[in-house]
């Protein structure tokens, strides 16, 4: 008898029939004698549809009201799942994030969990219920308002609850058989990874592998929660995400140099042209952007050898922050004295990730040669100890991912299965 947190993503509960299918699966876990806590996402594309609706009503909806609206998606599926379980003779109670004690910062749209006080969930479990918690949401104790934790963040709710409730592990149920060496929708020959360390998984998530929310992996690492990513459509084992030292050493396979290839089409590139080449200019530019709470990613600056008076600075940022960043930069343009700001959202980032590359030279050369052979032009390059990322034209992304995947010897002979529809 154990205690398990299970999270079901939107693609696993897309319609009434799927909710009943998931309920049968939960009933089996409960019948095995486990305490079961469920974290549920909104059904299918509900969150996107609610967002579209908001934008039809108001082009720039107030973030507080947007959170009030978006949190209803998870509330809906939580209540429906409780009904389906009850019909199977399983006692279940649904809770909003706030009722479940998910306490967050007051920031709307991207709040962070700062504490979990799961008194009601614990009491429900003690009374023999399955506790169902609406994912992706919480409440701020300072503003008393409902918040959301960012797109895809039901994963984070699940791991945070697993840590707070002392669960044995956290299962993330989705529409693929686990974490793959690339997105199986783009690379059908992608290979399922049986076990992956937190560090690799964090980098994969940060570079666009949307199978797990980044903060969920950060949380799991901090609290040492083992996460099992698997399909809700089969009983196959998936991918275990755990500390590197806990990964079983019985495997005779040599550690891979590259764990996976990821892509991200959600970023845009800003180029500031003609920045005076003097001390303090970069500081002024990035302070203006930071003051708007915008996270920047890659930065490239190169003083032109031809002109010794000015330089261009390019950086990438989430596309959703593009307009805000342009406004902030236009405001300081005359003071800083640069010439113009260019914006390009027809780009994508492709990354090769792997802790194994620390001790292996030549990874960059293999990556760039594979892209060159495909005729892919590199607009920006950035590297870390365990990652190489490039920015390419958006139409080159798929080809670049496939070419790199093959070049690193990651192709499997079997095709990966995506069980749900196309999703958004």
- Cβ(16)–Cβ(50) under 8 Å? no
* Chain residue whose CB lies nearest ligand ADP: 9
**Whole-number minimum distance, CB 175 to ligand ASP, in Å?**
12
Which of 101, 152, 208, 260 is close enough to bind ligand ASP by CB under 6 A? 152
Choose the binding region for ligand ASP from 41-49, 116-124, 223-231, 267-275 (rule: CB under 6 A).
Answer: 41-49
Choose the binding region for ligand ADP from 45-53, 138-146, 205-213, 329-337 (rule: CB under 6 A).
Answer: 205-213
**Whole-number minimum distance, CB 267 to ligand ASP, in Å?**
18
Choose the binding region for ligand ADP from 121-129, 176-184, 242-250, 297-305 (rule: CB under 6 A).
Answer: 176-184
Q: Is 174 annotated as a binding residue?
A: yes
Residue 353 as a binder of ligand ADP (CB under 6 A): the answer is no
Per-residue contact track with ligand ASP, 59 to 98, x per CB under 6 A?
--------------x-------------------------
**Whole-number minimum distance, CB 128 to Mg ion, in Å?**
30
With b meaning 16 or more CB within 10 Å and e meaning fewer, what string describes 335-353?
ebebeebeebeebbbbbbb
Q: Where are the beta strands (DSSP E) in 306-386?
A: 310-318, 340-344, 347-353, 380-384
- Cβ(110)–Cβ(134) under 8 Å? no
Contacts to ligand ADP from residues 39-78, by CB under 6 A: 41
Give the separation between CA 124 and CA 128, rounded to whole angstroms.
7
Choose the binding region for ligand ASP from 119-127, 151-159, 257-265, 326-334 (rule: CB under 6 A).
Answer: 151-159
Q: Is 413 strand, coil or helix? A: coil
Q: Is 313 strand, coil or helix? A: strand
**Whole-number minimum distance, CB 179 to ligand ADP, in Å?**
5
Residue 97 contact among ligand ADP, Mg ion, ligand ASP, none, beta carbon within 5 to 8 Å by kind: none
- Please identify which residue in the block is written with the tokens 């990652």: 387
- Cβ(285)–Cβ(275) under 8 Å? yes
Closest CA to 227 of 301, 277, 159: 159
Comparing CB distances to ligand ASP, the nearer of 74 and 281 is 74
Contacts to Mg ion from residues 151-190, by CB under 5 A: 152
Give the separation between CA 69 and CA 56, rounded to whole angstroms.
13
- Cβ(188)–Cβ(416) under 8 Å? yes
**Whole-number minimum distance, CB 11 to Mg ion, in Å?**
8
Which of 113, 176, 352, 400 is close enough to bind ligand ADP by CB under 6 A? 176
Residue 41 as a binder of ligand ASP (CB under 6 A): the answer is yes
Q: Parallel, antiparallel, or unpaired: how do β-strands 35-40 and 130-134 relate?
A: parallel
- Cβ(205)–Cβ(358) under 8 Å? no
Give the separation between CA 71 and CA 100, rounded to whole angstroms.
14
Give the separation between CA 5 and CA 268, rounded to whole angstroms.
36
Contacts to ligand ASP from residues 108-137, by CB under 6 A: 135-136
Number of residues engaging ligand ASP in binding (CB under 6 A): 12
Residue 173 as a binder of ligand ASP (CB under 6 A): the answer is no
Residue 174 as a binder of ligand ADP (CB under 6 A): the answer is yes
CB atoms within 10 A of CB 95: 22
* Token representation of residue 203: 């980098």
Residue 42 contact among ligand ASP, ligand ADP, Mg ion, none, beta carbon within 5 to 8 Å by kind: ligand ASP
**Whole-number minimum distance, CB 54 to ligand ASP, in Å?**
14
**Whole-number minimum distance, CB 213 to ligand ASP, in Å?**
7
**Whole-number minimum distance, CB 47 to ligand ASP, in Å?**
4
Give the separation between CA 132 and CA 227, rounded to whole angstroms.
18
**Whole-number minimum distance, CB 69 to Mg ion, in Å?**
19
Closest CA to 46 of 19, 85, 86, 84: 19
DSSP output for 15-65? SHHHHHHHHHHHHHHHHTT-EEEEEEPPSTTHHHHHHHHHHHH-SS--HHH
What residues form the annotated binding site for substrate? Answer: 47, 74
Binding site for ligand ADP (CB under 6 A): 9-12, 41, 152, 174-176, 179-180, 182-185, 209-211, 260, 418, 423
Give the interface with ligand ASP as residue ranges (CB under 6 A): 9-10, 41-42, 47, 73, 135-136, 151-154
**Which residues line the annotated binding site for ATP?**
7-10, 174-175, 180, 185
């Amino acid at each position: 008898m154990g205690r398990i947190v299970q999270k079901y993503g939107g693609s696993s509960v897309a319609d009434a029939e799927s909710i009943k299918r998931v309920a049968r699966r939960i009933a089996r876990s409960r019948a095995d004698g486990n305490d079961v806590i469920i974290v549920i996402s909104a059904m299918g594309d509900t969150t996107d549809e609610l967002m579209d609706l908001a934008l039809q009503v108001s082009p720039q909806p107030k973030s507080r009201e947007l959170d009030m609206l978006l949190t209803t998606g998870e509330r809906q599926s939580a209540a429906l799942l409780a009904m389906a379980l009850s019909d199977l003779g399983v006692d279940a109670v649904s809770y909003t994030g706030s009722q479940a004690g998910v306490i967050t910062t007051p920031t709307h749209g991207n709040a962070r969990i700062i504490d979990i006080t799961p008194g009601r969930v614990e009491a429900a479990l003690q009374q023999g219920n399955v506790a169902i918690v609406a994912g992706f949401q919480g409440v701020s104790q300072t503003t008393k308002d409902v918040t959301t934790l960012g797109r895809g963040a039901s994963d984070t709710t699940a791991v945070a609850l697993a840590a707070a409730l002392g669960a044995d592990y956290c299962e993330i149920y989705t529409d693929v058989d686990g974490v793959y060496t690339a997105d199986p929708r783009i690379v059908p020959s992608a290979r399922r990874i049986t076990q992956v360390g937190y560090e690799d998984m964090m980098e994969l998530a940060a570079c666009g592998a949307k199978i797990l929310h980044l903060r969920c992996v950060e949380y799991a690492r901090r609290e040492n929660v083992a996460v099992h990513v698997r399909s809700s459509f089969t009983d196959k084992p998936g991918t275990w995400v755990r500390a590197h030292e806990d990964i079983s050493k019985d495997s005779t396979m040599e550690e891979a140099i590259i764990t996976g290839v990821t892509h991200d089409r959600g970023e845009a590139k800003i180029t500031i042209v003609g920045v005076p080449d003097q001390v303090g200019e970069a500081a002024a530019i990035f302070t203006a952007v930071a003051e708007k709470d915008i996270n920047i990613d890659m930065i490239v600056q190169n003083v032109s050898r031809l002109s010794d008076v000015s330089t261009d600075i390019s950086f990438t940022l989430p596309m959703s922050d593009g307009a805000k960043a342009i406004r902030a930069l236009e405001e300081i343009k005359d003071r800083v004295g640069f010439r113009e700001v260019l914006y390009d959202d027809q780009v994508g980032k492709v990354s090769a990730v792997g802790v194994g590359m620390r001790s292996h030279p030549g990874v960059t050369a293999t990556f760039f040669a594979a892209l060159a052979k495909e005729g892919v032009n590199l607009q920006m390059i950035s590297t870390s100890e365990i990652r190489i990322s490039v920015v390419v034209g958006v139409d080159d992304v798929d080809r670049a991912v496939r070419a790199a995947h093959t070049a690193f010897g990651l192709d499997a002979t079997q095709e990966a299965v995506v069980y749900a529809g196309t999703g958004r």
